Amino acid sequence: MYTRDFRRVFLPFLALNVLLLAVVSAGCGGSPNLAPNTVGTGSTTGAVTPPPAPKLENGDKVKVTVFNEEQLSGEFVVDGAGNIAFPLIGQVPVGGLSGNEIEQRLTERLSGRYLVNPKVSVEVLSQRPIYLLGEVGKAGEYPYRPGLNVVNAIALAGGFSPRAATSYVTIRRANGGELKDHPVDPAVLVYPGDMITVQERLF
């Protein structure tokens, strides 16, 4: 009699606990299916794309160092034709190239005929300035630096004037010459020779 009563009370209780344990285990087992990085580090969110390597044009200055070759090392200015006058090899077209691309070009031209396995490094010393016009604190010419964006550029010119339209600017790119409106946003990069105009607001 006692055994029958025990089974009638205990077995349903045991079954209920087994069911609860199965539900909890299923919930825990599903957690590995969550997408990685959904919470926490944020390593996949808001990544900033590095700015492109600057391309050289007329008036830009570079420093070329050829290891153990002092007579081939020095500072060079890109001329109107996009060349630098380099010792031994003469005029070298560098217009539209980055510093790394100039290193490769000089290495190729010096190899074999002049030097064996030359080690060349190129540092961009200066590039064309940018120009801030219109409704800014102080319009004028400002030095370019890699990674400069439109927000930084406006700050260089003393910020917006009280009459400025602050949501967009008009930029004439030095390479294309086309006038185009751009939002005032850190994602909008500025390039050497760009002309940035802050318009007057309409009302």
**What DSSP assignment string belongs to 142-176?**
E---TT-BHHHHHHHTTSB-TTB--SEEEEE-TTT
pLDDT digits (tens, 9 = 90+) for 120-156: 999 999 999 999 999 999 999 999 988 899 999 999 9
Kindly state the average pLDDT of the residues 172-179.
79
In CATH terms, the superfamily for domain 130-198 is Outer membrane lipoprotein wza domain like (3.10.560.10)
Q: Is the pLDDT of residue 46 over 90?
A: no
Backbone φ, ψ for residue 139 (5° rounding): -70, 150
Q: Do domains 61-126 and 130-198 have the same CATH topology?
A: no
CA distance 102 to 91: 13
pLDDT digits (tens, 9 = 90+) for 59-76: 899 999 999 999 999 999
Provide the pLDDT for residue 167.
95
Task: Look at residue 108 in the predicted model and tell me its pLDDT.
Answer: 94
Structure tokens at 111: 């190899």
Amino acid found at 2: Y
What CATH number was assigned to the domain covering residues 61-126? 3.30.1950.10
What is the rounded distance in angstroms from the CA atom of residue 120 to the CA atom of residue 129? 27
Q: What is the pLDDT of residue 57?
A: 87
Cα-based distances in Å from 36 to 31, 33, 46? 11, 9, 15
The dihedral sign for the CA sequence 105, 106, 107, 113:
positive
pLDDT of residue 8: 54
pLDDT digits (tens, 9 = 90+) for 4-22: 554 555 455 555 454 444 4
* Per-residue model confidence as pLDDT tens digits over 98-124: 899 999 999 999 998 899 999 999 999
Interatomic CA distance for residues 150 and 50, integer angstroms: 15
Look at 105 and 52; give whichever has higher pLDDT. 105
Cα dist. 114→57, 69, 85, 108 in Å?
27, 11, 16, 10
Domains in the chain: boundaries: 61-126, 130-198
pLDDT above 60: residue 83: yes
pLDDT reported for residue 54: 65
